[in-house]
Structure 1
Amino acid sequence: MTPICNITRVGFRPICFSPTLFWYELSSRKQIDQEMEYQRLIDNQDERDVEETGSETLYEDALKQTGYGRFHWLVLFLCGWAVSSDAIEVLSVSFMLPSAQKDLDMSSVDKGWLNAIIFVGMMIGGYFWGSLADRHGRRTVLLGSLTVNGLGGLVSSTSQVFWLFLLARFISGIGVGGSIPVIFSYFTEFQPKDRRGKMISALATFWMFGNIIAAGLAWSVIPRDIGYHSASFKYNSWRIFVALCTIPSLTSAVFFIFMPESPKFLLTIGQNRKALSVLKFIHKKNKQPSSYKVTSLVLDPDHRPIHLTHQDTGCVSSISRNLKSLASISGELFRPPLLRSSVIMLIINFTLSFGYYGLWMWFPELFSRVEKYGGSPCDHHVGPPNRTTNSTGAMDKDWIYFSGFLTALSNLPGNLLTIYLMDQLGRKLLLSSSMVASGVCVFFIPLVRDKWQNLGVSCLFGAVSTVGWNALDVLSTELFPTNVRSTSMGIQTGVGRIAAIFGNVIFGELVDVHCSIPMILVSGLLVFGGLTSIRLPSTVRTDIH
């Protein structure tokens, strides 16, 4: 059957009705007619708005009048699936390192660079995509970044040499770097202030689900003797695992084709009627009993919309205009009144990312060493010697991936805690206490004497650090106004990626010397970042601008 498509003029996705594409709400012919009728309503919106009269309604009040229902839960699921896809792509490399070491002929230093290269891509992608999202919209950027993420991962699964695998992971990182900051901006702009803290915390929990999915896939696929082998080409189990990890990002890109643009972004750039149409759409999907009475929108009484121009003046002029716009948006972050918050958030992102990713990406390798040789993970200073393992290779691998799975699952208590306490205790207290406690956990890792103690401390670190990440995600979206929000998150995550690069490379350089050295460094940075976060302002139940 040929799909019937109606492209709207208001930042909506194309509405296509076919047996395969009409996923948004599977229903009867009556539902299809309702969708088409609503699209005709949007097409005539400009003309009708001219005739409508009424006082202007603040965006927060207008958003509250849409109700809270099925549309918001759908946005949570779709954005959460995208967050999970990013977690899977970032963490997948750490799970395949032990198995890929022989195929790609990697040393510990090579492993450190492989863990780090995705963060190099994320650093570049975070600023590039984040700035574009503040100029061209959240939805369009999400489509592009998620697609780049998935395609880069697919290419890496076929790479037969280390340098090509490294390049493909870099490209994948560019995609991941764009989707993470933009997803949180997009999601936040649909949330009323009385639910915002809890719902952003709920969205952040999907990183844990991505971690669990990656660990579960690794445990199910990598230890198995499956795949294709020839004289010149290998596609074994760890490569299949890498390919499977791209499915969430590619499906997320497809899902966002059918989603509307952020109404707050539309309002920020002066497209008030289009923003109102999106809010009416949300009200309709939430099936509110009363009609939507808002007829005119304003972001806040003093807001001056940013009008974006799109003159067709040639490629060079277009690039120059976009670069100037990106520089202008970025400059706002480092001038009062945003300067103080920007600097503090950059310090926190650096210390938390260095500590978390510098250690977390190496957990499977540390579990592998403890399982093979026993004792503390820091007892084996000069690479893996030739020793007889305590069990068969299959059992060793099962323990490694079981440990990774359990460590990922340990994030659940921290996620549930933040959903409940984010608005009660506040973002600052949760962030500060979490980072200090995480630093204390890391300090004790070199002191453990067997694999169960190592697993216990690692799980405790995962549970405690999750609280800090969730609080940081909420603060990152609330501290900055709509017109610079995605750029701000892109810069913050970019600095975090630089820290993650340093963390992984330093860990790779020192893990065979004595791993207690990077452990102490990680512990100190986490405590310092936690104390710095006390200087941030409170954003509990405040309006976002």
Structure 2
Amino acid sequence: MALIGEKTQYHVVATTEREDDRSTETPVDFEAAVSATGYGLFNVLLLLAAIPAGWTVVFDTSTIAFVIPSAECELDLTLFRKGTLAAVTFGGMICTAFFWGYIADQVGRRHLLLFGLILDATCNIFGSASQSYYIYLAFKFVSGVIIGGPFAILMTYIAEFHAERHRSKVLMWTGSLFAVGNIAVPALARAVLPLPWSFSLFDNLFVFDSWRIFLIISGLPPLIGFLTIGFLPESPKFLMTNGNSSEALKIFRKMYSMNTGKSADTYPVKALQLQERYVQKRNASVHSGISSNPNDPQKVVFSKRKSMFSTPYIISIFIVNVVLFASTSGMQIMKSWLPQLIVILNNFDPKESEGLFSSPSICEKLNADAIEAFRTETAVANKNLTKGCVPMAVSPTVYTNATIIAASAVLGSFLAGFIINKVGKKNILFICLVAAGACNFALNWSPTTKVFLILCSAIIALTGISTNAITAMIVEVVPTNLRATAVSISVMTGRLGAVTGNLLFPILLNLTCDAPFYYIGGFLTLAFVVTIFLKKHSGKLE
């Protein structure tokens, strides 16, 4: 059943006083329209505006690693509580991932980004004032709930302003610029945390020392992102998908004018086709009951889910998710716990190793009894026997080392991007998984703290590269019409790996120091083994 006047709604014709000779009133699709805008100033400003928004998740998930050593006594942090704080933001992201995806399709990319960024900034600022562990934990969880959706559609938002010939290159550079946020976090910690800053509000009801001020400053990326994204338009792809071709055409004209320096009236495209999804949605609205249309969106989604769990693809999906779980778990454990481990190693008392025939191993330095002995001796020396918690000294070198390690990991991933096509994604994956697993097994035998840091740096870099490699391989092992769903599942699996790793690490560390390192190394080895069976798909659904 056709709608009255349906043909007149399939495109929007823009009339101008002066038309370019190349212009046409024949409706064109999204790819043709965005290609006609070119590449220039608008695209550069878009990328710059997206950086603070992209850094938001990096800050939300990484700052806790540098706060834990300083806030240990104030928040009464046990090892398990530290692991929970490191994991809870990822847990919040998992809980609402699919919900945000639905909302993004209903209200638009830009509106969701703005809503999420301003709420996250607010959450971070109020969270910095938390005077108890449980309140701060709640704020970290809510932060994960809020930012999980906006970050997931940020790359989609950027992609929908670029033509196909520029899209892959732009997304690669975008990912690299977002990764620089991993360097910015420890660098900011180095600049703020060692300083004796402090102020109070409401007659000392809320006391803000350096680590709380660090959290306030860490809330700036989402706030800046809110301001910069606010100057950008809605995704023209989203507008066309929802039937608003006239507004999409205005955006394309603006992009064309900024990129070429020419008048918007000379934009060659004068009419836009409605997206197929919108036409199907509108046609479906005139039917009652369950549609018999084979292209019905609900049936298409059901068909995709059914195909994903069929024999040709279930093995590939399983292998991809095993690798992502192992790589993300290993990477996030090291990123979250490395500053704390460095603090413990720096505070190791050489007296504890007296009587040993050789230099103490890393695990002997991380021994819980030795740490407790240090605390007791410090309390006695300070004549502070009644105080329940004696904070460890946090040297500025902790943050300096973390900055160097983050920079080396980002540089490693950047260089791997240049050689991955020459060496092959699967070969890169093999090398990174084996090397990262070997580094984990070797951690306890590090002769010095410096060697330990080098191995940790290698683990972070190698697991980061393997995560990027296996994500890129989804294109080769999953058909196009299943790819978006496969990527969504893989993102969830990676976050689940981060949650599981951060919760298990303190439990295993309390049992025996070797256990958490063997856990990471063993999982990475398993990932290497299953990757052997990863095969490319035929490109067709059976």
**Are residues 203 and 47 of structure 1, via their aligned partners in 2, closer, same or farther at CA, if it must alter by over 3 Å?**
closer
Matched, 1:193 2:189: no
Aligned match for 1:378, one of 338, 351, 363: 363
Letter in 1 for 2:259: N
Retained in 1: the 8 A contact 2:304–2:481?
A: no
Map residues 155-304 of structure 1 onto 2, 5 A cutoff: 155-228=126-199, 232-287=205-260, 291-297=266-272
Q: Is the 8 A contact 2:24 2:270 kept in 1?
A: yes
Relative distance call for 1:307 and 1:355 in structure 2 (3 A) is same
What's the counterpart of residue 333 of structure 2? 358
1:83 is aligned with what amino acid?
G
CA displacement, residues 379-420 of structure 1 (integer Å, 9 cap, x when unaligned): 22325233379xxx9985212111111111112322422443
- Paired residue type of 2:44: W
**Matched letter for residue 188 of structure 2:** L
1:132 corresponds in structure 2 to: 103
State which drifts further: 411-420 or 64-73: 411-420
Cα distance change of structure 1 residues 490 and 385 upon mapping to structure 2, 3 Å threshold? same
Is residue 369–residue 377 contact of structure 1 (8 Å, CA) maintained in 2?
Answer: no
- Residue pair 1:125, 1:176 contacting (<8 A) in 2 also: no
Q: Distance in 2 between matches of 1:151 and 1:333?
A: 39
Q: Which amino acid aligns with 2:306?
A: R
Deviations 1:165-191 (A, max 9, x none): 110111111123123211122122333
- The answer as to whether partners of 2:14 and 2:270 remain within 8 angstroms in 1 is no
Letter in 2 for 1:372: N
The answer as to 2:127 corresponding to 1:141 is no
Distance 1:426 1:151, change over 3 A: farther
Instruction: Quote how far apart the aligned CAs of 1:259 are.
Output: 1.2
Classify 1:66/1:231 alpha carbon distance in 2 versus 1 (closer, same or farther; 3 Å): closer
Question: d(CA) in 2 for partners of 1:154 and 1:353?
Answer: 28
**Partner amino acid, structure 2, of 1:378:** C
Residues 367-406 of structure 1: matches in 2 within 5 Å?
367-373=342-348, 376-379=361-364, 380-382=366-368, 384-387=371-374, 396-406=394-404
Q: Structure 1's 95 and 536: CA in aligned 2 closer, same or farther, altered over 3 A?
A: farther
Cα deviation for residue 327 of structure 1 reads 8.7
2:91 aligned to which of 96, 115, 120: 120
**1:390-429 matched pairs, under 5 angstroms:** 396-421=394-419
Structure 1 equivalent of residue 439 of structure 2: 441
Change (3 A) 1:103 1:491: same
**Is the aligned partner of 1:307 residue 2:281?**
yes
Alignment deviations for residues 409-466 of structure 1 (CA, whole Å, 9 cap, x no partner): 1123224224434665565554554344333333322221211101211222233233
Aligned residue for 2:367, secondary structure, equals coil
| 1:203 counterpart SS class | helix
Distance 1:439 1:308, change over 3 A: farther
Q: 1:144: Cα distance to partner?
A: 1.8
Alpha carbons of 1:132 and 1:308: their partners in 2 closer, same or farther (altered >3 Å)?
Answer: farther
CA distance in 2, matches of 1:477, 1:203: 19
Partner residue in 1 for 2:503: 505
Q: Distance in 1 between matches of 2:102 and 2:474?
A: 15
Query: Amino acid of the residue matched to residue 343 of structure 2?
Result: S
Is the 2:434–2:524 contact (alpha carbons within 8 Å) kept by the matching residues of 1?
yes
Distance 2:49 2:309 in 1: 31
Secondary structure of the structure 2 residue equivalent to 1:307: helix
- Whether the aligned pair in 1 keeps the contact of 2:410 and 2:461 (CA below 8 Å) is yes
SS in 1 for 2:199: strand
Closer, same or farther: CA 396–110 of 1 in aligned 2, 3 Å: closer
**Does the CA contact (< 8 Å) of 2:13 and 2:25 recur in 1?**
no
Q: Post-superposition shift, 1:481?
A: 7.0
Instruction: Normalising by structure 2, report the TM-score.
Output: 0.77
Cα separation, partners in 2 of 1:172 and 1:47, compared to 1, 3 Å:
same
What residue number does 1:10 align with?
A: none
Q: Normalized against structure 1, the TM-score is what?
A: 0.76
Is 1:463 matched with 2:461? Answer: yes
Change (3 A) 1:538 1:108: same
Structure-2 change in CA distance of 1:536 and 1:127 (3 Å): farther
Aligned equivalents of 1:494, 1:261: Cα separation in 2: 26
**Secondary structure, counterpart of 1:362 in structure 2:** helix
Structure 1 pair 152–303 and aligned structure 2 pair: CA distance change class (3 A): closer
Which AA in structure 2 matches 1:369? I
1:74 aligned residue: 45
After TM superposition, give the deviation of residue 287 of structure 1 in Å.
1.6
> CA 1:191–1:461 in structure 2 vs 1: closer, same or farther (change >3 Å)?
farther
Deviations 1:518-538 (A, max 9, x none): 222212323444565673758
**Percent identity (aligned):** 26
- Determine if contact 2:69/2:394 at 8 Å carries over to the other structure: no
Call closer, same or farther: CA 1:482–1:54 in 2, change over 3 Å. Answer: farther
Q: How many angstroms apart in 2 are the aligned matches of 1:536 and 1:140?
A: 40
Amino acid in the other structure paired with 1:239 = R
510-519 or 364-373, which moves further after superposition? Answer: 510-519
- Aligned equivalents of 1:118 and 1:173: distance in 2? 4
Q: Deviations over 1:348-372 (max 9, x none)?
A: 4323222221232111111112212
1:520 aligns with 2:518: yes
Q: Distance in 1 between matches of 2:499 and 2:338?
A: 16
CA distance in 1, matches of 2:226, 2:521: 37
- Displacement of 1:87: 0.4
* Aligned length, in residue pairs: 478
C-alpha RMSD of matched pairs (Å): 3.8
Post-superposition shift, 1:96? Answer: 0.7
Q: Which residue of 2 aligns with 1:48?
A: 14
Q: Please, which runs of 5 or more residues in structure 1 have no aligned partner?
A: 1-44, 312-324
In structure 2, the gaps of 5 or more residues are 1-10, 286-295, 351-359, 379-390
In the other structure, the counterpart of 2:293 is none
Q: Which amino acid aligns with 2:523?
A: L
Letter in 1 for 2:328: S
The answer on whether the counterparts of 2:157 and 2:235 sit within 8 Å (CA) in structure 1 is: yes
Match of 1:496 in 2: 494
Letter aligned with residue 455 of structure 1:
L
CA contact (8 A) 2:339 2:398 kept: yes
1:280-306, Cα deviation, whole Å (9 max, x unpaired)? 322222126694323444599x87755
**Greater gyration radius:** 2
Mark the CA change 1:350 to 1:86 in structure 2 (over 3 Å): closer, same or farther: same
